[in-house]
Amino acid sequence: MNFFTKKEIIYKEQTGKEAWLSAKQALADAGIEYSSGITDKESPVGGCGAKLDIRNFGPRGKIDRKLYYIEVAVKDAETAKNILKQALS
């Protein structure tokens, strides 16, 4: 996707990596160009220089706090949203 293309975020969820990967695959299969990424939803908890978060040591292990997003060109946004509705439902 061109650097100067106006983009719109069509997918922004904290549902997990699997749903994000399937959304990306659906867009790729349809031939729509996109850019995607992962960012932290919340800043790390720290105290005394330690970056340990007590919530990571529960019975289910480390919590996924990543925010997964996909953005497409504004001209392709409506088509991409319809593709994701069908693919993720």
Q: What is the average per-residue pLDDT within 40-61?
A: 71
Query: Measured between alpha carbons, how far is 33 from 10 in angstroms, rounded to an integer?
Result: 12
So what's the pLDDT on residue 48?
A: 65
* Residue 1 lies inside a defined structural domain of this protein: no
Let me know if residue 67 belongs to a domain.
yes
Q: Which domain holds residue 12?
A: 7-88
Which of 12-26, 34-48, 57-71 is the least confident region? 34-48
- 18 part of a folded domain: yes
- Secondary structure class of 69 (helix, strand, coil): strand
Taking alpha carbons only, the member of 4, 2, 8, 20 closest to residue 76 is 8
Confidence of residue 80 (pLDDT cuts 50, 70, 90): very high
**CATH number of 39's domain:** 3.30.70
For the record, the structure tokens of 34 come out as 């996109």
Name the nearest CA neighbour of 87 among 39, 38, 34: 34
pLDDT band at 58 (very low <50, low <70, confident <90, very high): confident
Please check whether residue 2 lies inside any domain of the structure: no
Measure the CA–CA gap between 33 and 78, rounded to whole angstroms.
13
3-state secondary structure of 67: strand
Number of domains, the chain: 1
